[in-house]
Structure 1
Amino acid sequence: MSLDPVYVERLASGVSMAEPVGDYAAPSCVVVSSTIAGVPVRSYGVDGHTLVWLHGGGFSAGDLDMPEADTVARELVARAGVRVISVGYWLAAFPAGLDDVVAVVSALDAPVVLGGTSAGGNLALAAALTLRGSARVEALVLAYPYLHVEHPAAPSDLVDRMAPLPESARFTPEKMRAMAEFYLGESADDPPPLAYPGTAEFAGLPRTLVIGAEYDDLLTSARDAGRRLRAAGVPVEEYLEPGVLHGHLNTPGLPGALRTLDVIARFAR
């Protein structure tokens, strides 16, 4: 599928990808800001089981106000009938953010669905590995996850799709290395296993939804995670959103984002 025209226009004009598309407005719901285990959180909705949600941002950016956090949470309350806890985890350096996520999930009184986008997908997987065997996490959602210092080799069709895109829409090896060194606070040559959990042993993890974006250098990480989870005996659902860039859930009202939200909602109910 061709790249969504919204992206084509915004890449040309410089309009922020986080701006809503057209007259889109996020659903309203009860929203409460608080802390859990000393970690800032924002709770959305009051009924249903709990989905703990982690925004992206490469461990150097992102917060509870960004669409990938706030809009996604509101949409999942409306679409899935769940209560969403969005976590304002500490950014770099490792392991502060992971410690925050583990603390929040451990403090809740029932098992949760745990999910996130990009760097948040990394933290969701690492937290589930940390808590494996505790029954604290009943399901995982990994949306275009950032799981490797160097993403697995791309097939030729992905290479061809990505080649025309500008640097701002790419995750080049140089950019990946710089992100890793910022996150780790040191050389990325030998990262701790939970910092980049894409090569961990996945046996014993709960059922998992892995979402990829068609125009994303990190798609190889999502596909690799799906293969490795399945090989480890984990029940896996994989979904590829066509026509979108990495971070599509951060563009409110984008048709591909709304389709992906439906997929997450069905999985999380």
Structure 2
Amino acid sequence: MSLDPQTKMILEFFAAAGAPPLEALAPEMARQAFALPQGDLEPVGRVENRTIPGPESEIPVRVYYPKEVQPYSPAIVYYHGGGWVVGNLDSHENICRALTNIANCVTISVDYRLAPEHKFPAAVYDCYAAVEYVYDHAEEFQVDQNRIAVGGDSAGGNLAAVITNMAKDKNKPAICFQLLLYPATNILGTPSASKVDNAEGYFLTQGTMEWFRDCYINAGEEDTPLLSPILYEDVRGLPPALVITAEYDPLRDEGEEYAKKLADAGVEVELTRYDGTIHGFISMAGVIGLGKAALEQSGTALKKSFNKQTIKK
């Protein structure tokens, strides 16, 4: 179908702005330039900035509490997108606040180490350490150990998928749900049709994806499931998932392929493709109505999953 009018307007705005592509900038400059139109930020109960122990250094996290927090609230540990190179606790505030309010849960946003200063697998280890710490210190966060989900968008969706598999393989922590928003699941594999068809003109370009990849991965790196979760051979027994993709997103096909892999293994999966829109549209929910609808769907799916779990007493 044709582009959604609001998505088309945003693409025209980006084109008229004439900003250089991220890959033309040094990583630090790219981080300063990376900004998506989030719109007004929703109020939540309270927000706390703190750190938790990481594999090599303290990991900054931002904790969003709902207005009616309970002693044992459900929680989602959220990993922001940005190609493992850009993005931070500020860039994805609208998503975290919306999920907190819609699902009435605690949201812990993780500021994992970024490439190229910290190449793969630094981000993976930080993200696993974060959810493990939340699980082991659930009462510290007023969180119910039985109702902890993980989620993320784009590179963060990649990390959420990887961490869910790691938790299964390590038998800890228990994760009750995975929220995968246009996830990158096949980093070094053969380019899919959507990567070819949507390589230019739809916000996330081939050049930017290649730059992200080269920043994140060492030259000659062998593809592994920790990079590309599509390579996990056995995904049976993983927690239920919501996978959201976008029609004009280069990552569309690999996200949908991963959802099919989960479903074929007997995992409960809801897959939704939002037609007419682009990669990152959920971060732009302030100006793209489809993004707001996807946030509502995500928060509702989280809440439904949390309500199925036995509440810790």
Q: Does 1:198 align with 2:230?
A: yes
Are 2:88 and 1:63 equivalent residues in the alignment?
A: yes
Q: State the distance in 2 between where 1:151 and 1:113 align.
A: 31
Give runs of aligned pairs for residues 158-177 of structure 1, distance below 5 A: 162=198, 165-166=200-201, 169-172=203-206, 175-177=208-210
Q: Which residue of 2 aligns with 1:124?
A: 160
Cα distance 1:129–1:8, how it changes in 2: closer, same or farther (>3 A)? same
**Cα deviation per residue 1:186-239 (whole Å; 9 max; x = unaligned)?**
224x22321121221312211111111111111001110011001111111111
Greater Rg over alpha carbons, structure = 2
In the other structure, the counterpart of 1:8 is 8
1:119, 1:40 → 2: CA distance? Answer: 18
- d(CA) in 2 for partners of 1:244 and 1:123? 23
Calculate the aligned-residue CA RMSD, in Å: 2.2
The counterpart of 1:186, out of the listed 219, 224, 231, is: 219
Check whether the contact 1:33–1:40 (CA below 8 A) recurs between aligned residues. Answer: yes
Distance in 1 of aligned mates of 2:190 and 2:94: 28
1:12-39: per-residue Cα shift (whole Å, max 9, x none)? 232597124xxx5221111110012231
Report Cα offsets for 1:169-197 as digits up to 9, x if no partner: 2443x654443232112224x22321121
Deviating more after overlay: 202-211 vs 191-200: 191-200
Q: TM-score if structure 2 supplies the norm length?
A: 0.76
Q: Equivalent residue for 1:246?
A: 279
Q: How does 1:2-81 map to 2 (within 5 A)?
A: 2-14=2-14, 18-20=36-38, 24-29=39-44, 30-37=46-53, 38-46=58-66, 47=69, 48-66=73-91, 69-81=92-104
- Deviation track 1:50-78 (CA, whole Å, cap 9, x = no partner) reads 01111100011111101xx2111111122
In structure 2, the gaps of 5 or more residues are 18-33, 139-144, 304-313
Q: Corresponding residue for 2:193? A: 154
Shift in Å at residue 151 of structure 1?
5.8
Q: Which amino acid aligns with 1:89?
A: Y
Does the alignment pair 1:88 with 2:111? Answer: yes
Following superposition, the deviation at residue 244 of structure 1 comes to 1.3
Structure 1 residues 31 and 170: CA distance shift in structure 2, 3 A = closer
Alignment match, 2:20: none
- Residue 209 (structure 1) aligned with residue 242 (structure 2): yes
Q: Letter of the aligned partner of 1:43 in structure 2?
A: V
SS in structure 1 of the partner of residue 109 of structure 2: strand
Aligned residues: 257
Contact kept in structure 1, 2:157 and 2:184, CA below 8 Å: yes
8 Å contact from structure 1 (residues 214, 245) kept in 2? yes
The answer to which of 46-55 and 257-266 deviates more is: 46-55
Gaps of 5+ in 1: none
Do the aligned partners of residues 227 and 252 (structure 1) sit closer, same or farther apart at CA in structure 2, a change above 3 Å counting?
A: closer
Aligned to 2:186, the other structure's residue is in SS state coil
Counterpart contact for 1:17–1:251, Cα < 8 Å: no
Q: Secondary structure of 1:49's match? A: strand
Q: Select 2:126's aligned residue among 89, 93, 100.
A: 100
- Rate the CA distance shift 1:64–1:170 in 2: closer, same or farther, 3 A: closer
C-alpha distance in structure 2 between counterparts of 1:151 and 1:144, whole Å: 18
Task: Measure, in 2, the Cα distance between the counterparts of 1:258 and 1:243.
Answer: 14
Instruction: After TM superposition, give the deviation of residue 79 of structure 1 in Å.
Output: 1.3
1:72-121 deviation per Cα after TM superposition (whole angstroms, max 9, x unaligned)? 11111221111111110111211111111111111122141100000001
In 2, Cα distance between equivalents of 1:135 and 1:62: 26
Asked if structure 1 preserves the Cα contact closer than 8 Å seen for 2:36 and 2:284, the reply is yes
SS state at 1:191 partner:
coil
Q: Is the 8 A contact 1:17 1:250 kept in 2?
A: no
